[in-house]
Structure 1
Amino acid sequence: MTDNHTAYRPRRSVLYMPSSNERALEKAKTLPVDALILDLEDAVAPDAKDIARENACAAVRSGAYGRRELTIRVNGLGSQWHDADLAAAAAAGPDAIVVPKVGSAEEVRSLVEAMEAAGAPAHTRLWAMVETPAAVLHAEEIALASDRLACLVLGTNDLYKELGATFVPGRAAVQTALQLVLLAARAAGVAVVDGVYNDVKDAEGFLAEARQGREMGFDGKTLIHPGQVGPCNDVFAPGADEVEQARAVIAAFETAQAQGRGVATLNGRLIENLHVDTARKVLATAEAIAALS
């Protein structure tokens, strides 16, 4: 639930916002979202790329987004806009630069070199989007390629397209890919965020997929509509019962240790170090979320 290089930061809700839309950027200042992806890629028409780039960089420099994590998604490697996007984003110094369709560790290192050459400050991290079969199969190498890389972001729409798969509730066609990227992120100690849910009017379907993502182990979910933010925050936050149980686990273990025992029991269940570690993560997550409000 955290990366190797920074303290845990909530990324329950990660909302794409088209940077060509100034009204949307203004609205984003009021949303209870953990992170924003100021988009220069898919959500922006070719004739609006330049103004979107200017708007995103101005938003980052404005300091008007409070505690929200601000990232900029640039156009992909090889596109006519990529170099200018990356240079401008690096100079603006967001919390991270999000790059679509990262396919290899070599690409990660190349991106980091370009960020540093453009003067990206130390706090500006790289988020790599995993959207192709090749990227899934090399996800661990991608995740370990640089200390600048802080998060893997699933691009599930592109993955479905590349696989020739059909979307069905439960996402059977991409579950293996989701799990491989999760494994890679956890092995590398970086964050990992689930893909988008496309039907913004299907609240029940969205909740089911968000719950699936949380149960699998994702830190949060990328979103395409402000209405998805609140439900997503709720799904990916520890509930009151979960927090209470975590406190009880820690208390039972500490009591057992004080009595010279290496294990404890709580309501008939064995409590070991690994359960205590999980409980402490739950409390750290809850505390980090509470600090946002």
Structure 2
Amino acid sequence: MGLAPRSALFLPASNQRAIAKARSLAVDLILLDLEDAVKPADKLAARAGAVAAVAEGFGERSAAIRVNGEDSALYAEDMAAVRASAADMIVLPKVESAAAAAAAVRGSGKRLLAMIETPLGLLAAADIARVPGVTGLIAGTNDLSVTLGTPAGDDRAGLVLALQMIVLAARAGGVWALDGVFNRLDDPQALELQCGEGRRYGFDGKTLIHPNQVEIANRAFGPSDAELADAHALVAAATGGAERFEGRMVEAMHVDQARALIARAQRGAGSA
């Protein structure tokens, strides 16, 4: 499955200029969108654009295609196009059951990022995460806010339980957990705060809607210099079993955690 992305950028698959620009960004994962970001009149062009974009590739970056939902008349043809494409993954919106996730994996022949956007999806998230072929869960925070009846906006106080349920389900299933999008494009300070919040909840990275958000997410979901220095020191000092390190007790699991953090930093240095 590989390292989880720190940053996952949604792009309208109908916007060739944005797709071309994405090839120069230090983003970890490209999400080519056929659904919400595309006007109905542009849906067919977006599908063709997504297939062409993944055929050309994004260098070392992985790419996924978000199809229209199961209830859409476009779903079957979207799935067929993704199956025949060079996409690394498929993104399915509003996944509400393990059966739907399994069908998407079978139908697309791709690894699945399942969007959790409804109460039914939340309650089924643990089962969804355990479906073979599921690579990660994405918190669809805009739809979750609507379906749960919480106030609109980027104050996520009413979503705390939902967000933590998604992380818990992902961890139980051994898959990625990606935080939802931040809607305000001109407030980098608030985005940074929300990224920090997401990392504290346990998310691996954040889904994004604008190139200007990539650097902030990469920094927030990557280790700080102090964290990295501590991880290197811990790995170097570890001799096995429980022991004292820098005034705290550490065990093998802490060493493993430090090694994972170092690997994440090395991947970040390679993509910057």
Please classify the TM superposition score into its range, dividing by the shorter chain length.
over 0.9
Contact between 2:67 and 2:78, CA under 8 Å: does it hold in 1? Answer: yes
1:170 positional shift: 5.2
Distance 1:40 1:251 in 2: 47
Which of 190, 193, 211 aligns to 1:205? It is 190
1:7 positional shift: 3.0
Distance 2:2 2:81 in 1: 27
Corresponding position: 1:158 with 2:149: no
Corresponding position: 1:175 with 2:160: yes
The match for 1:189 is 174
Distance 2:227 2:6 in 1: 17
Contact between 1:264 and 1:272, CA under 8 Å: does it hold in 2? Answer: yes
SS of the equivalent of 2:27 reads: coil
Deviations 1:115-153 (A, max 9, x none): 2xxxx3xxx3111100001101110001112x2110111
The match for 1:235 is 220
Corresponding position: 1:38 with 2:24: no
The match for 2:270 is 291
Distance 1:172 1:207 in 2: 17
Give the root-mean-square deviation of aligned CA atoms.
Answer: 1.4
TM-score calculated relative to the size of structure 2: 0.96
Deviations 1:69-96 (A, max 9, x none): 1110000001011111111011003010
Report which stretch shifted further, 54-63 or 159-168: 159-168
Contact between 1:131 and 1:159, CA under 8 Å: does it hold in 2? Answer: yes
The match for 2:115 is 129
The match for 1:80 is 73
Distance 2:66 2:207 in 1: 13
Distance 1:46 1:168 in 2: 25
Deviations 1:213-259 (A, max 9, x none): 111111100001111011111111111111110111122222xx4xx
The match for 1:3 is none
The match for 1:25 is 19
SS of the equivalent of 2:186 reads: coil
Contact between 1:16 and 1:36, CA under 8 Å: does it hold in 2? Answer: yes
Distance 1:175 1:212 in 2: 10
SS of the equivalent of 1:138 reads: helix
Contact between 1:253 and 1:263, CA under 8 Å: does it hold in 2? Answer: no
Q: What is the letter of the counterpart of residue 261 of structure 2?
A: V
**Structure 1 vs Structure 2: percent identity of aligned residues?**
44
Correspondences of 1:211-290 after superposition (within 5 Å): 211-254=196-239, 257=240, 262-290=241-269
Q: What is the letter of the counterpart of residue 244 of structure 2?
A: T
1:181 positional shift: 0.8
Distance 2:113 2:106 in 1: 14
Distance 1:22 1:154 in 2: 26
1:113 positional shift: 2.4
SS of the equivalent of 1:277 reads: helix
Report which stretch shifted further, 132-141 or 20-29: 20-29
Q: What is the letter of the counterpart of residue 170 of structure 2?
A: A
SS of the equivalent of 1:291 reads: helix
Correspondences of 1:36-75 after superposition (within 5 Å): 36-63=30-57, 65-75=58-68
Pair member with larger Rg: 1
TM-score calculated relative to the size of structure 1: 0.89
SS of the equivalent of 1:213 reads: helix
